[in-house]
Structure 1
Amino acid sequence: MKTKQILLTVGISAVTAFGVMFGYTKFMQRNNYAGQPAGIPSNYKLAGFFDNNTPPGTTDFTQPAQAALPTVVHIKTKTNAKQVSNNLPKTQKSPFSDFFNDDIFEQFFGGRGNTYIPEQKASGSGVIISDDGYIVTNNHVVENADEVTVTLNNKKSYSAKVVGRDPAYDLAVIKIDATGLPFLLYGNSDDVKIGQWVLAIGYPLNLETTVTAGIVSAKARSIGINKSTKTSSAVESFIQTDAAVNMGNSGGALINTNGQLIGINSAIASPTGYYSGYSYAIPVNIVKKVVDDMIKYGTVQRAYLGVTYASDGISDEEKKANGIKEGNGVFVTGISKGGAAEAAGIKKGDFITKVNGTAVASSAEMVEQVTRYKPSDKVSITYERDGKEYTTNVTLKNSAGTFDIVKEDNGVVAKLGADLVNLDSKKAKEYGIPGGVIVKKINEGALNDQTRMRDGFIIIKVNDTDVKNVDDLKKIVGADKSIIISGFYPGSDGIFDYPITLE
């Protein structure tokens, strides 16, 4: 009897256990979010780590790192000791400004002597992009350098020359006299996805080649760092990553797991100056265009759409004050007279939503797309106006408002640091002069550092020789290091002289 009871108890327990396991399995099958739950429409997807319960393979960075390491170089620079004029910066008034115009005061009394700046040394990184020695790096790595030395991964060192540089992009091209070099292949930064693995390679903190890994945490990020260099029309559309980048990484490579270049490391977000969690790289699709221009023309062929636009992240109060409506895309706050957009019929109040069919939701994205083209290129611009969508073809122009290719200036305009345009013949006749050059905007350079010249100044002479156009200016300025620029401000009396020493 007892034996039968025991067998019965065991049987009931087995059946019960089997039933519980069967029910639990069915329950888990219905609620396993890695797949598609029952009762949910097929077009509705829930996030899961794995598809079909298959874990991902192990991530291995050794192959892309080994492919890229020989192509990333150490750049060391030396800036010779020099004396700098102590003229007041344009933003600071002289103590006599209540009695004298500051420009007149400096004309008669000059500056306050010179400051001695000792020899300076710095280092950064660069990426070999051709087997005959062309290297891309950041502008701020080689800017003002009197000597540039490149050390390869195999410890060989070369003297380098600067082919071209542009602070608006914070990019520069240098060249060493070598052949048969390993070089990094370009990837496509448009294909970069948020969350994908990337590697940063460079020479941080004067260490040997260093590789760090992270993921892409954002795209088309603008952080205002290029604008802080006083450059005109800065281009910022960074790839943001959490790969560790420190001082010395500037100009180094950001690569994908296929070993392709997708960006040039340029900046970090840090209250201390050292890596604090985020780093920023210039997308390779911008790099390619800038590098090609510098090698072919000696300077970047920058195209302009001819619009002003609302900054991203503008507050509700600012929107209300400026009459900015809610909408998709980039809100146009103004149109440049004679610019490309005006000729194409784009107006203040439009929302630009696409450039050549590529959606742009921020000003950084729009600028990134436009900056890939050169003056005279045609692009399609899609915009919204009063709830309707329109598409128009726009022929882009240069900063002077023409379709011309900008010629290499042997560094003259770059050293002066200004956007220069020819004075219109009608205006010249109105002023009673044969011609002149308008200082449209003063950026970083000699005019900003050594004078109190303001935007809008019209240059009519250099070293007492007439200047009728920008070409005249380049010829005269390029012939002498010590010059005196003479001209006037529209609406003001008198001629102003600005002495400058070009390094």
Structure 2
Amino acid sequence: ALLLGAGGGVGGAAALDAVEDDPAPASSTSESGTTGAVAPLEAEESPEGDPAPGPDGTAEAVAATVLPSVVKITVINGTDSGGSGSGAILSEDGEILTNNHVVEVAEGGGQITVGFDDGSTAPATIVGTDPVTDLAVIKAEGVSGLSPARIGDSDALSVGEEVVAIGSPYGLEATVTSGIVSSLNRPVAVGGDESGDDTIYPAVQTDAAINPGNSGGPLVNLAGQVVGINSSIRTSSSGLGGEGGSIGLGFAIPISKVLPIIEQLRSGETPSHARLGVTVGNEIEGGLAIGAGIKNVEGGSAGEEAGLQAGDVVLKVDDEVISSVDGLVATIRGYRPGEEVTLTVLRDGETLTMKATLDSDVEGNDS
């Protein structure tokens, strides 16, 4: 099985195994992201009882509500090749949220075109990108009066809850599919940065059909609120016969985990991410992974301050059970720099708990 970025023609296959929680790769912002003030995004409260944006709270009602806030993104790089993806409108004047792997090929002088629900198009420029969370903000030029997407609370999602995915799979704009939340906090590795490090995040897993070209589009609840950004799929394709399609294993970046990153991108800041400052590897016992084994602890890091030592095995972060390296990396990336977590650690057969105040990967930024 392969795990693919779901951007048509722009996302590559990524291995599931990661071996280090390294300092984050450099993120980038363009000058276009540093002008003017932006109104911060605010998550709406989750509705009580039956969420219903329309008369019956169906996928039909959700589609009518959300489709005007979703765009198709076409990217051409300097060699006239590229691909397509999707995005969610953030502001009336053209700010759009998408995946980094959708637009990264345009950073070397390529062209980005945005297609709107009414059939119009506009050129766009990159405001900021963040390979660590696989997010990007772009700005459509010369537009106004757009319909921003409503932001929900991904922390309020429940397994089995109905959700709707909207985007442009294989270039087919305004495609709507529905399903349920299959799992939460699923560690997923996809894409990667220029240094070869995988992007790992605590994903919302869904069986709503997600295919190449859906990347960057919204996953929404039945209240029409964005709860995730569709980013990758698991496919059974060997990769030899072209891109694989949906087999009911799609993954979205939970919106509540990344709202601070989105605001930093919109403001032209360098995005900051939480880090523990340790090198880790899967800890195997009886043929099964039982946690994330600490191989090395950086001097002066959050891990050292907490008391972690080489040879320790991290079993839990707060209430989240850690069964692998990816699980630890994804869980830590769900926090913000400066937040305190409780680590449950196995050391020489004894279970210990310790507090860690997470570092930032951006110097001088601990919040």
> Does TM-score exceed 0.5, indicating one fold?
yes
What CA distance in whole angstroms lies between the structure 2 residues aligned with 1:190 and 1:290? 16
Residue of structure 2 equivalent to 1:335 = 297
The answer as to whether partners of 1:261 and 1:284 remain within 8 angstroms in 2 is yes
Q: 1:316 is aligned with what amino acid?
A: G
Alpha-carbon distance in 1 for matches of 2:92, 2:181: 29
Q: Which secondary structure state, in structure 1, belongs to the residue aligned with residue 165 of structure 2?
A: strand
Gaps of 5+ in 1: 1-57, 82-118, 320-325, 407-503
CA distance in 1, matches of 2:358, 2:211: 41
Q: What is the CA-CA distance between 1:353 and the residue it aligns to?
A: 5.1
Question: Does the CA contact (< 8 Å) of 2:307 and 2:354 recur in 1?
Answer: no
Contact 1:263 1:287 in 2 (8 A): no
Which of these residues, 111, 123, 131, is aligned with residue 92 of structure 2? Answer: 131
Distance, in Å, in 2 between the alignment partners of 1:212 and 1:282 is: 17
1: distance between equivalents of 2:61 and 2:213? 24
Structure 1 395/210 Cα, relative in aligned 2: closer, same or farther at 3 Å?
A: closer
Deviation of 1:148 (Å): 0.7
Q: Give 1:316's aligned residue.
A: 286
**Aligned with 2:263 (options 292, 297, 308):** 292
Change (3 A) 1:188 1:360: farther
Which of 330, 339, 348 aligns to 2:310? It is 348
- 1:242 partnered with 2:191: no
What is the CA-CA distance between 1:205 and the residue it aligns to?
1.7
- What is the Cα deviation at residue 351 of structure 1? 4.4
Contact kept in structure 2, 1:235 and 1:367, CA below 8 Å: yes
Match of residue 138 from structure 2: 174
**AA paired with 1:160?**
A
**After the TM superposition, which residues 141-156 of structure 1 pair with which residues of structure 2 at under 5 Å, given as runs?**
141-145=102-106, 146-156=110-120
**What residue identity is the alignment partner of 1:305?**
L
1:205 aligns with 2:170: yes
Change over 3 Å in CA distance of 1:332–1:296 after alignment to 2: same
Q: CA deviation at 1:176?
A: 1.9
| CA distance in structure 1 between the aligned counterparts of 2:88 and 2:230, rounded to whole angstroms | 10
Please report how far the alpha carbon of residue 315 of structure 1 lies from its aligned counterpart in structure 2 after TM superposition: 6.5
Change (3 A) 1:296 1:208: closer
CA contact (8 A) 1:165 1:299 kept: no
Are the counterparts in 2 of residues 168 and 231 from structure 1 also a CA contact under 8 Å? no
Task: Output the CA distance in 1 between the equivalents of 2:66 and 2:285.
Answer: 43
Residues 167 and 215 in structure 2, CA contact (< 8 A), matched pair in contact too: yes
State the partner residue of 1:140. Answer: 101
The aligned residue for residue 85 of structure 1 is none
Gaps of 5+ in 2: 1-55, 238-242
TM (normalized to structure 2)? 0.72
Contact 2:89 2:97 (8 Å CA) reproduced:
yes
- Matching residue of 2:355: 392
The structure where helix makes up a greater share of residues is 1
Tell which structure's C-alpha radius of gyration is larger: 1
8 Å Cα contact 1:340/1:397 also seen in 2: no
CA distance in 2, matches of 1:285, 1:183: 17
- Quick check: 121-130 or 178-187, which moved more? 178-187
SS of residue in 1 equivalent to 2:190: coil
Distance 2:196 2:227 in 1: 25
Contact map agreement 1:331 1:349 (CA 8 A) in 2: yes
Alignment partners' CA distance in 2, 1:121 and 1:227:
17
CA gap 1:198/1:168 in 2 versus in 1, 3 angstroms? same
Partner residue of 2:240?
Answer: none
Distance 2:198 2:169 in 1: 29
Q: CA deviation at 1:263?
A: 0.9
Contact 1:286 1:368 survives alignment (8 Å):
no
Q: Determine whether 1:404 maps to 2:364.
A: yes
Cα deviation, residue 229, structure 1: 7.1
Residues 400-426 of structure 1: CA deviation (Å, up to 9, x unaligned) = xxx4249xxxxxxxxxxxxxxxxxxxx
Partner of 2:22: none
Counterpart amino acid of 2:68?
A: P
Match in the other structure for 2:248: 277
CA distance in 2, matches of 1:369, 1:281: 15
1:157 to 121, 124, 140: 121
Matches within 5 A, 1:250-265: 250-265=215-230
State the percentage of identical aligned residues. 35
- The TM-score, its normalising length taken from structure 1, stands at 0.54
Count of residues in Structure 1 that have an aligned counterpart in Structure 2:
298
CA apart distance, 1:339: 1.7
1:59 CA displacement: 6.8
- Tell me, yes or no, if the aligned pair for 1:129 and 1:136 is still in contact at 8 Å: yes
Tell me how far apart the structure 1 counterparts of residues 269 and 186 of structure 2 sit (CA, whole Å). 28
Q: CA distance change for structure 1 residues 190 and 361 in 2, over 3 Å: closer, same or farther?
A: farther
In structure 1, how many angstroms separate the alpha carbons of the residues matched to 2:261 and 2:135?
A: 8
2:360, 2:247 → 1: CA distance? 40
Q: Answer whether contact 2:75 2:112 (CA < 8 A) is retained.
A: yes
1:66-94 CA distances to partner (integer Å, 9 max, x unpaired)?
2111100011111122xxxxxxxxxxxxx
Deviation (angstroms), 1:382: 2.9
Q: Quick one: distance in 1 between partners of 2:321 and 2:329?
A: 9
SS at match of 2:357: strand
